[in-house]
Amino acid sequence: MNKRKLRDGIYWLGAIDWERRLFDSLIPLPDGTTYNAYLVEGTEKVALFDTVDPSKTEVLLGQLADVPRLDYVIAHHAEQDHSGSLGSVLEKFPQAKVVCTPRAKEMLIDLLALPEDVFLTVGDGEELALGGRMLRFLHTPWVHWPETMVTYLAEDHILFSCDFFGSHLASSDLWVVDDCRVEESAKRYFAEIMAPFRPQIEKNLEKIKDLEIEVIAPSHGQVYGRPRFILNLYKDWVTGPPKNLVLLPYVSMHHSTRKMVDRLATALADQGVRVELFDLAVTDIGKMAMVLLDAATIVIGTPTILVGPHPLAAYAAVLANALRPKARLLGIIGSYGWGGKAVETLASLTPNLKVEVLEPVLCKGLPRESDLKRLDELAALIARKHQELGLF
């Protein structure tokens, strides 16, 4: 993709990664992603905002081929999908300084072995003049690493936000045109990596709330020409209450647990509680993380194997624990052959969950009618508690 103009003297650079399907060897990217960099020209100085993933360095260098001079590279975030081409950019522009937070400097030295003398660190609120354009740096830690910052360009009312407000969505559109599609990708991204840091992100939203922002230019996905759209979504994801929704991740080996899951899901729906099922043997964990972001209740369905929960159920519990969801209730259901410690093990894997743990519903072998009735009672209890929480 060629360099593309946002405004006079402000250009999108970067790469569209149509094929990438996994991030951090963990997070599914069903729609690929982009690594956005931006070139901002003043009358005296020129700055590049972030770089691209190392796999796309040649794309960025091609876009910079006719750029005669670069004074600054603004490094909002040290993670390699944005910083990974810094070394190559500095080789081409050896006079350029890397502008970042003090914490980012440490991390970029650790991660990329860059020399100390290439850095210019900036404090929170510090400004840097390009000539006719002033960059204001705002420290916004924990989006989703500790060193992150954003840049506000007051003359153009643009916020360059890096991961903040980003979405993993490969598209030839420079600007957001399909709100629904972008909402799905941005929510997935938030749920996968930012959800655990909601208190810090709330502070960051507060920090930018009085800025006059016409455009948000993130480093993944499309540019927001109507920033209120994504700002409102973030407000809900960060501070909104959980929804009248049960997340029901499960795994079943011989269909007993599956029968229990089906009965509970049916009973919940009959009680007016929304439920989303995820078969952990085949599920997309990003999709599950999105539901986890909203759910007031998590119920894990697992058989007992090797004396404990199925390893896939343990994986879901570890993920939920790491993402620190808003959920208020936790249930465990499942079948066992002759005994075991599935419940105790799952409870030990979820110390971060601030939840009321409901009485587990376990059965020996196939669920009998009495077991299924206990699931109906569990559904009624969840519905009653959701009502008490004011969720419906």
Residues that bind ligand FEO (CB under 6 A): 77, 79, 81-82, 144, 163, 220
d(CA 291, CA 30): 16
Q: Are strands 46-49 and 243-250 parallel, antiparallel or unpaired?
A: unpaired
Q: Measured at CB, which residue is nearest to ligand FEO? A: 79
Q: How far is the CB of 22 from ligand FEO (least distance, A)?
A: 14
- The residue (of 145 and 392) whose beta carbon lies closer to ligand FEO is 145
CB 182 within 8 A of CB 221: yes
- The residue (of 29 and 288) whose beta carbon lies closer to ligand FEO is 29
Q: How far is the CB of 257 from ligand FEO (least distance, A)?
A: 36
Q: How far is the CB of 287 from ligand FEO (least distance, A)?
A: 20
- The residue (of 31 and 163) whose beta carbon lies closer to ligand FEO is 163
- Amino acid found at 39: L
Q: How far is the CB of 162 from ligand FEO (least distance, A)?
A: 7
Q: Please state whether 13 falls in left (phi above 0), alpha (psi between -120 and 50) or beta.
A: beta
The sign one gets for the Cα dihedral 264, 266, 271, 277 is positive
Q: How far is the CB of 75 from ligand FEO (least distance, A)?
A: 12
Q: Which helix (H) or strand (E) holds 195?
A: none
Q: Are strands 361-364 and 329-336 parallel, antiparallel or unpaired?
A: parallel
Q: How far is the CB of 320 from ligand FEO (least distance, A)?
A: 21
Q: How far is the CB of 163 from ligand FEO (least distance, A)?
A: 4
Q: Are strands 72-74 and 46-49 parallel, antiparallel or unpaired?
A: parallel
- The residue (of 31 and 41) whose beta carbon lies closer to ligand FEO is 31
Question: Closest by alpha carbon to 139, among 129, 128, 127, 151?
Answer: 151
- The residue (of 77 and 374) whose beta carbon lies closer to ligand FEO is 77
Q: How far is the CB of 123 from ligand FEO (least distance, A)?
A: 22
- The residue (of 3 and 76) whose beta carbon lies closer to ligand FEO is 76
- The residue (of 8 and 19) whose beta carbon lies closer to ligand FEO is 19
Residue tagged 């920033």 (tokens): 227
- Amino acid found at 21: R
- The residue (of 142 and 315) whose beta carbon lies closer to ligand FEO is 142
CB 275 within 8 A of CB 269: yes
Question: Closest by alpha carbon to 28, among 261, 288, 234, 260?
Answer: 288
Q: Residue 262 CB: number of other CB atoms within 10 A? A: 19
Q: What is the biggest distance separating any 2 CA atoms in the chain, rounded to whole angstroms?
A: 78
**Residue 265: phi, psi to the nearest 5?**
-60, -45
